[in-house]
A and B are shown apart, each in its own frame.
Chain A
């Protein structure tokens, strides 16, 4: 058997992390993207820039600040301790928070583009037909932005699977809690277990290729998502 039970545990954990992160990002990313697509507020620039920050920041920067912020002396850590939750470093919940921040632009930007492409017109028409904002969202925006949602979900999921630096810095390499596939591969290489590393790394290449293949093959009319 080329993959050990520890490898499968890492794969299972990674899939859980990526799925949960994607769901959370679709829920919180949708209102952010809607706002960014339609607002004329002066805050549009700064908020857009903050959402895009993880695109350019090295994961080590995000990981470093999360380690400090979620630790017992950081603001987040003090808040979670006040709530009786302890600290979030070295926990699955901590990884989810880190992943949500790290993968945010990969979900928000495709959604924002999809919403912007719809334009104000269909919304105005819906309003004249006396649809309330919720009706408009579920019966007009959601169906029209469907390709955007699919792209956002795939990119958010795939990007979380590929995450390494943030997990490395706040995870603590705990089996079944924070040891995801990318860290497991790093471990194998460090321990000079190249054969093991090859199996997992090769699987990652195939997986990533298939995801991108699905993404590129499915988009016909859209030329870009960012």
Chain B
């Protein structure tokens, strides 16, 4: 290393630290862990939320089980939008959330989807016909939509028949990816991934009747890290408000 360059390093470090201190001093940011199936709606909600409240929303997308592990190990999330109700409940029991902050922000809808037009005729016919090579689902051990998919298969008495055709995505995004790239002819995804403004926007689908699986109740909580952040509270309130609710419903969720 060139010796004359050395004095620059402490200077550069000081500048860098200054930048970090500056950004974290902006108190009205909220760090949100978002279940993968809620990616599209939260992006739509975020722009309205930022416009209406002046707060800034920083989202991370992923699997609920993975977020649980990260939160237990000190992840900096302040609000958690889970894909189920059991994980937030667990965090509540373990004292990791602001007491009383848990609420259901959406009830998910499961859909059987194919990227091919007309492959699915709006019913379970293509599934029962069993002419496909691969059926994509989310990992049922970690993802509620995957668990719901296995319940639907059991109800249709298909569990054993399709056993060797099932491919698992680690979360609902990967389950969607396998279908959208054509590697699996069809798969169970979240309706929110393929639904916009009241209709399926791409390919063909069967919207699975709610009675065929346990409700996919998606709960939100304010985590301990967000206890003193007004933006966290504001986001929780905003999600319950009419504007966000309308957006959430437009993606095919119930409330």
Q: Which residues of A contact B (CB under 8 A)?
A: 67-68, 70-73, 86-87, 89-90, 168-169, 172-174, 186-187, 189-192
Contact = CB atoms under 8 A, between A and B. Distances in A.
Nearest to B140: A191
A173 B133 contact: no
Interface in B154-191: 166-170, 174, 177-178, 181-184
Interface centre among B133, B168, B169, B177 (most CB of A within 10 A): B168
Interface stretch (B41-49, B62-70, B213-221): B62-70
A90 B141 CA distance: 19
Chain B residues touching A, range: 20 to 34
A89 B183 contact: yes
Contact of B139 (A70, A71, A73, A173): A173
A168 B174 CA distance: 9
At the interface, is chain A mostly helix, strand, loop or mixed?
Answer: loop
Contact of A189 (B69, B136, B182): B69
A192 B94 CA distance: 14
Nearest to A171: B167
B182 A73 contact: yes
B142 A187 contact: yes
A174 B166 contact: yes
Contacts of A172: 134, 136, 167-169, 178, 184
Nearest to A169: B174
B181 A191 contact: no
Contacts of A67: 177, 181, 183
Interface centre among B66, B141, B182, B183 (most CB of A within 10 A): B183
A135 to B, nearest CB: 47
A86 B65 contact: no
B39 to A, nearest CB: 17
Contacts, number: 58
B183 A189 contact: no
B65 A87 contact: no
B68 A90 contact: no
A192 B168 contact: no
Contacts of B69: 189, 192
Interface of B: 63, 65-66, 68-69, 133-134, 136, 139, 141-142, 166-170, 174, 177-178, 181-184
B63 A71 contact: no
Contacts of A68: 181
B140 to A, nearest CB: 9
A84 to B, nearest CB: 14
Contacts of A191: 65, 141-142
A187 B139 contact: yes
A190 B167 contact: no
A191 B84 CA distance: 13
A189 B136 CA distance: 21
Which 4 pairs, one residue from A and one from B, show the smallest C-beta to C-beta distance? A172-B167, A190-B142, A173-B168, A191-B141
A71 B184 CA distance: 9
Nearest to B178: A172
Nearest to B66: A190
B170 A90 contact: no
Contact of A71 (B133, B167, B174, B183): B183
A191 B64 CA distance: 10
Given A172-B168, A189-B65, 20 more contacts: A67-B181, A67-B183, A71-B183, A72-B182, A73-B181, A73-B182, A87-B183, A89-B183, A90-B134, A90-B184, A169-B174, A172-B134, A172-B184, A174-B166, A187-B141, A190-B65, A190-B139, A190-B141, A191-B142, A192-B68
A187 B171 CA distance: 11
Nearest to B134: A90
Given A187-B141, A190-B63, A190-B142, A174 B168 contact: yes
Nearest to A178: B167
Given A67-B177, A90-B183, A192-B69, A168 B141 contact: no
